[in-house]
Structure 1
Amino acid sequence: MKGYDMINTILPEELILEIFTHIEESKSTRDSSSLVCKRWLKLERLSRKTIRIGATGNPDDLVNLLVDKFTNIRNVYFDERLPVSSPPLPQYGSSSSSYRSRSNRSKKRRRNKSTGSFSKIQPQAEYSELETFDLESFSLTDSGLTALARVTRLEKLSLIWCSSVTSAGLKSVAENCRSLKCLDLQGCYVGNEGLAAVGQCCRQLEDLNLRFCEGLTDTGLVELAAGCGKSLKVLGVAACANITDTSLEAVGSHCTSLQTLSLDSEFIKNNGIVSVAQGCPLLKVLKLQCINVTDEALLAVGTYCSSLELLALYSFQRFTDRSLCAIGNKCKKLKNLTLSDCYFLSDKSLEAIGSGCSKLTHLEVNGCHNIGTFGLESIGRSCPSLLELALLYCQKIGNHALYEVGRGCRLLQALHLVDCSSIGDDAICNIAQGCKNLKKLHIRRCYEIGDRGIIAIGENCKYLMDLSLRFCDRVGDDALIAVGQGCSLRHLNVSGCHQIGDAGIMAIASGCPQLVYLDISVLQNLSDIALAELGEGCPLLRDVILSHCRKITDVGLSHLVKKCTHLETCHMVYCPFVTSVGVATVVSSCVNLKKVLVEKWKVSERTRRRGGSILSYLCVDL
């Protein structure tokens, strides 16, 4: 009946609130739903649990507004890493009153449109008179945190790079938000007093991130561990020069429920790691980048942390195979292992892991120059559950290692190879024949891999969705034809594969209609006909990178964007036959564009006015 609102009359508020709980993660859907009517707007605000705030003009005032409108929020995320542009100054000759009037009208329009969603507000909407402005006004301060403290049921708070926040603001939150479970202080200059207050008041705290908190010392972390150590499960510390083994000893004494520890410090030594290993028997995840830690620490981890599932070791140059042997002998639940720049590890370490950790699912070996073919063969023979393998800068690992992986790791879904000069087509053929569930294959600068290996992938790995062959200059059109005929790719990167031309890309266009990402940069033989075929065959493309393609012209671009209406990113620098006309065609045809990378001199004034916010330039004017 005309004038009769069936939705508002029939649907009870409890049902509408229940609907909103099922779309919590979709901000755009919630925003659209709140526009139905004032009743829905009110209910949406009542049901919203999460708010994310990027760079804003006046975050303290914004927090006050949010707290009043969204009374039941539980999770608040600030991230001030985003750049903030300066608000426009009034032009000479315009009165301050007229400028203030325009600003107020703009502010009103912006608030009506947002309908309670303030994930990002431009600074222009926050200032009326700008004779001068202070960059500090773009940062959250203690005043904003004090306002946020009115949300007494807050559970998660993230303050990433909020450099103006001090212990006073954090203390206010701690004293009022005693249900806080997750606190991220990355890049904040809070001191010991604020952290101690969190320990005293937030006895349910489970997750704490202290990366780049340069103002902290052992005093603050020790007091926190003593206060809420029983509930703490996740702790991250990085680049905190004044946090030493004393803090970790307190963690080992009080945080008996700790499950995840991430440390990046040159000041942590063996005593701290040993204390954590002995005092935290439930430890499952351990990530270490501590150059002064030796075998003694990791021997303790192997002895006491039998529940360990993930171990990541970065830049360790003071421990040997003894450490990994201890891990392999005791940590039978280990599933994920990363070894990066561990120069003194050899094949013996991987042999110990293979024989002791048969449940291993993820392995990354990066720059460990003494690990070779024999070590990886042990993994292939002993770890049938392996799902992902990454070999980066492993010059001593040869084809036979991947033969064993192909034969023994039938469940493998992802393989990454970077600068592995001894791995060639034979290895890739073995992977293709044995690992038919492969979904992701990334290869970069492996110059012994050519068409034969990739053809085998196309013929055998029917579930492959993500293929990257960067600077593999022996791979040509025949390889992509096989992939296009056998796989339905969603992501393809063939940057720098000079032998690939129109035939290979056209085969992908006809065989992979679900393609959303394509990098064909530095393909010198690619022409407009390939772009035309991509436009016809891959209408879902969102990201296209075609820089350094010297045969591409405005005609090819027009064919591409005519059908690829979902395009969001387009990089086209160093394409000599792409002119300002082609750039204008891309900008005007693709309504979803978020970024266009191009030379500045190719952008006309009209195009700059139309798409200034999405244009990025290769270089600035000299």
Structure 2
Amino acid sequence: MSTTTIHDLPDAILTNILSLITDVRARNCASLVTTKWRALERLTRTHLTLRGNIRDLLFHLPNSFTSITHLDLSLLSPWGLGLSLHIQDPSFLLSHRLRLAFPSVSSLTLYSRSPSTLSLLSPFFPSLSHVKLIRWHQRPNHTPLGSDFFSLFQNSSLLSSLDLSCFYYWTEDLPPALQAHPFIASNLIHLNLLNFSLSEGFKSDELLDITRACPNLRDFRVGCVFDPRYVGFVGEDALLAIPSNCIHLRVLHLADISQGDRDFDEDGFSSEDAGFSLDCLVRFFSGLSFIEELLLDVCRNVRGSWVCLEALASRCPNLRVLEVGCFHGICRAIESHLDGIALCQGLESLTINNSADLTDFGLIAIGRGCSKLAKFEVQGCRKITMRGLRTMVCLLTKTLVEVKISGCKYLDAPTSLKTVEPIRDRIRSLHIDCVWDGEKPEYEEEAIVLGDDDINEMESKDDDDGIEVESRVKKRCKLSLGTGSWFMNGNIKRGGTSNGNLIKTWKRLEFLSLSIGVGELLTPLAAAGLEDCPSLREIHIKVDGDCRERPKPSQGFGISSLGQYPMLSKMKLDCGDTIGYALTAPSGHMDLSLWERWFLDGFRNLRLNELDYWPPQDREVNQRSLSLPAAALLTECDTLRKLFIHGTAHEHFMMFFIRIPNLRDVQLRGDYYPAPENDMSTEMRVDSCCRFENRLNARQIPD
């Protein structure tokens, strides 16, 4: 008797099913079922990232992905070199082959180390609407202003989106190119110039030229010079010109990326005030009537900002995402009256950076007013405590799923975890600082905790009765930080126990981000409250600090302790801001190779599929290189399939990775500025990279 299977479905239905598969490995597996499935999968795939060596690109280019619209060529190896490497007559053959293989490309991501790369490719992709350029190497000094963009603008008449957030160039390059191509400039809808690798941001006259040339922008992100001590700083005229010249803006990001004074005093205020008035900000916000996403971080004091934020709330009804930096007085929280940022009631994401006078009562007011928040980030706010932030979290238990707490004086790691306990069953993304014994406020022994009945009671009262309700809530809802139990709805709730200690399960937490100072340990993380995370799949760890004056640690970093998370498969370990001695360490000091051994000891206990690793660096010689102990320890994780080293490495160190049985994708990336211009004689060169890739690809890898 014949049976009906999925193979009997009509091609149209099967095509729709395959088009819904987003996971890359799942799509690859589906293409191996039958020849028919392979053809249908190829026809439904629209995004493709090419990996492999540039020298093989001409002869091993896949030709079955004719429906690809988004093509990424930025990850070809050797990473960061030109497409014409080792290819004869590149001006025709390579570009022509790419055009034939991907005739439908409308979005292109490309590492463009020199203007010749775009001159090579852009004539063969006339339908490009989105381009992202990447370059971490220094800009060639001999090229004329704007030469990186002229060939692109000349050959891409449909261009509407340009992303330069990872492209190093001079700020004076872009305005002449836009002015020389007014048709392209007027077509641009998305323009991302927010690049923190630039030595300084755009000045006032450059910002005016760009906004005049691109009047139809809807998404504009740019790094500016807001420091009044600099000539050409962005002041009131330039700020007001943005909404005046670009009246259709939906997304606007303005951030100071200059290398000026960013130090804050003990109270959290910067040394300088912003170079514009509150009245200017009110007029600025009034011109952004269609804005949906706004970032404004001027790195200078904006005092009494509740006035302009109330104007933002009233004039921008579509605002959903807001990030402000160095805005002080964002919420006065006088009695039960809502003011300032608390009136932005449509917000779904809110980030507050370096607000010196934000208090617990301000947080509670924000929780009452911004009741739709799904994401909340607070950084560098020195007056807030667990008492206020936990109350805010309780008010947002039905919506909040992403939280970031960083650089707050009274919120160390254990306290931060207690703060988000009310949403422990639903939070999906969390960032905390690994500070294990931070400062405590005077009233540390008590913290406000609200149950559902308390929240409903507060919400049912009008503003006149709010203070009385809050007072009653504080009296009957208290938390004893040492007992491991808490009051919710009048009943004591307890988790499971292990050895008599409370176990708290974070059942939906999928992403965890940690910041930790050099020399500190990861080991206390579980004891602080993150012992049971059954769904945790990805973790980011950023280690920073100067290890040159640090004594030799007596115990390991604790990377092995992360092996207790059963689903953890992806990690980013960023030690790029860890500074030390790369070559010769003075007597009594550890060099970076010994620090790497300390960071990675115990790596064998992890079951990772993918790892991004930034080695520590010696800034004196601009060296970020993988050491011998690090290579050996990384090899001990035998489950790795993808390994990306964001730096350089010796060839014989890389050969260690051949021992990892399932490893399929390895790459060295110098994606930091300035990227190394010339490979050192003993480090990875083009030929060395090719030899390693040949050895890697020659193995039989079980799939």
| Structure-2-length-normalised TM-score | 0.55
Question: Contact 1:337/1:362 (CA < 8 Å) preserved in 2?
Answer: yes
2:277 to 294, 305, 319: 294
Q: Could you tell me how far apart the structure 2 residues matched to 1:501 and 1:275 are?
A: 56
Q: Does 1:24 align with 2:46?
A: yes
Question: Contact 1:313/1:338 (CA < 8 Å) preserved in 2?
Answer: yes
Question: Contact 1:407/1:430 (CA < 8 Å) preserved in 2?
Answer: no
Give the structure 1 partner of residue 508 of structure 2: 463
Q: Does 1:332 align with 2:317?
A: yes
Give the structure 1 partner of residue 71 of structure 2: 50
Q: Could you tell me how far apart the structure 2 residues matched to 1:363 and 1:345 are?
A: 16
2:206 to 243, 252, 275: 243
Cα displacement (A) at 1:299? 0.4
Secondary structure of residue in 2 paired with 1:442: strand
Q: Could you tell me how far apart the structure 2 residues matched to 1:295 and 1:423 are?
A: 31
Q: Does 1:180 align with 2:154?
A: no
CA change 1:63–1:405 in 2 (3 A) is: farther
Question: Contact 1:288/1:312 (CA < 8 Å) preserved in 2?
Answer: yes
Q: Does 1:262 align with 2:222?
A: yes
Q: Could you tell me how far apart the structure 2 residues matched to 1:171 and 1:494 are?
A: 40
CA change 1:335–1:525 in 2 (3 A) is: same
Give the structure 2 partner of residue 419 of structure 1: 407
Cα displacement (A) at 1:199? 1.1
Q: Does 1:348 align with 2:332?
A: yes
1:67 to 95, 99, 102: 95
Cα displacement (A) at 1:324? 1.9
2:295 to 307, 312, 319: 312
Question: Contact 1:399/1:427 (CA < 8 Å) preserved in 2?
Answer: yes
Give the structure 2 partner of residue 124 of structure 1: none
Once the two structures are superposed, residues 531-578 of structure 1 have per-residue CA deviations (whole angstroms, 9 ceiling, x without a partner) of 5544xxx2536357999xxxxx99x9789726434362689xxxxxxx
Letter aligned with residue 158 of structure 2: S
Cα displacement (A) at 1:407? 0.8
Cα displacement (A) at 1:41? 5.4
Give the structure 1 partner of residue 569 of structure 2: 515
Q: Could you tell me how far apart the structure 2 residues matched to 1:485 and 1:11 are?
A: 44
Question: Contact 1:418/1:445 (CA < 8 Å) preserved in 2?
Answer: no
Give the structure 1 partner of residue 123 of structure 2: 149
Give the structure 1 partner of residue 365 of structure 2: 378
Counterparts of 1:271-282 in structure 2, within 5 Å, are 271-278=237-244, 280-282=246-248
Give the structure 1 partner of residue 641 of structure 2: 566
Q: Could you tell me how far apart the structure 1 residues matched to 2:181 and 2:600 are?
A: 61
Once the two structures are superposed, residues 298-323 of structure 1 have per-residue CA deviations (whole angstroms, 9 ceiling, x without a partner) of 20133342332222121243553222
Letter aligned with residue 123 of structure 2: A
Letter aligned with residue 323 of structure 1: C
Cα displacement (A) at 1:484? 4.2
Letter aligned with residue 589 of structure 1: R
Letter aligned with residue 56 of structure 1: G
Give the structure 1 partner of residue 537 of structure 2: 490
Q: Does 1:140 align with 2:115?
A: yes
Q: Could you tell me how far apart the structure 1 residues matched to 2:363 and 2:69 are?
A: 49
Larger % of helix: which? 1
Give the structure 2 partner of residue 3 of structure 1: none
Letter aligned with residue 489 of structure 1: L
* Greater mean alpha carbon deviation, residues 392-401 or residues 313-322: 313-322
CA change 1:561–1:609 in 2 (3 A) is: farther
CA change 1:195–1:585 in 2 (3 A) is: closer
* Greater mean alpha carbon deviation, residues 398-407 or residues 309-318: 309-318
Give the structure 1 partner of residue 580 of structure 2: none
Give the structure 2 partner of residue 100 of structure 1: none
CA RMSD between the two structures:
5.6
CA change 1:614–1:380 in 2 (3 A) is: farther
Give the structure 2 partner of residue 444 of structure 1: 433
1:285 to 245, 251, 265: 251
Once the two structures are superposed, residues 1-60 of structure 1 have per-residue CA deviations (whole angstroms, 9 ceiling, x without a partner) of xxxxxx9xx989xx98874453232335999xx99x99x955546967636355317489
Secondary structure of residue in 2 paired with 1:412: coil
Cα displacement (A) at 1:418? 2.2
Secondary structure of residue in 1 paired with 2:115: coil
Question: Contact 2:286/2:315 (CA < 8 Å) preserved in 1?
Answer: yes
Secondary structure of residue in 1 paired with 2:403: strand
Q: Could you tell me how far apart the structure 1 residues matched to 2:636 and 2:193 are?
A: 45
Letter aligned with residue 407 of structure 1: C
Letter aligned with residue 317 of structure 1: N
Question: Contact 2:192/2:221 (CA < 8 Å) preserved in 1?
Answer: no
* Greater mean alpha carbon deviation, residues 15-24 or residues 380-389: 15-24
Q: Could you tell me how far apart the structure 2 residues matched to 1:262 and 1:608 are?
A: 35
Cα displacement (A) at 1:396? 0.7
Cα displacement (A) at 1:509? 2.6
| Structure-1-length-normalised TM-score | 0.61
Counterparts of 1:390-409 in structure 2, within 5 Å, are 390-409=377-396
CA change 1:241–1:211 in 2 (3 A) is: farther
Question: Contact 1:24/1:49 (CA < 8 Å) preserved in 2?
Answer: yes
Letter aligned with residue 283 of structure 1: L
Q: Could you tell me how far apart the structure 1 residues matched to 2:222 and 2:685 are?
A: 47
Q: Could you tell me how far apart the structure 2 residues matched to 1:441 and 1:62 are?
A: 47
Question: Contact 1:481/1:507 (CA < 8 Å) preserved in 2?
Answer: no
Q: Could you tell me how far apart the structure 2 residues matched to 1:196 and 1:503 are?
A: 53
Secondary structure of residue in 1 paired with 2:390: helix
Q: Could you tell me how far apart the structure 2 residues matched to 1:562 and 1:445 are?
A: 24
Q: Could you tell me how far apart the structure 2 residues matched to 1:418 and 1:531 are?
A: 26
Unaligned runs of 5+ in 2: 1-30, 75-79, 227-231, 257-273, 440-480, 486-493, 496-501, 545-551, 576-594, 617-627, 671-680, 692-703
CA change 1:190–1:160 in 2 (3 A) is: farther
Letter aligned with residue 286 of structure 1: L
Question: Contact 2:405/2:416 (CA < 8 Å) preserved in 1?
Answer: no
Q: Could you tell me how far apart the structure 2 residues matched to 1:168 and 1:468 are?
A: 39
Cα displacement (A) at 1:241? 6.2
Counterparts of 1:196-207 in structure 2, within 5 Å, are 196-200=179-183, 204-207=187-190
CA change 1:421–1:244 in 2 (3 A) is: closer
Secondary structure of residue in 2 paired with 1:421: coil
Give the structure 2 partner of residue 107 of structure 1: none
Give the structure 1 partner of residue 526 of structure 2: 479
CA change 1:585–1:319 in 2 (3 A) is: same
CA change 1:151–1:362 in 2 (3 A) is: closer
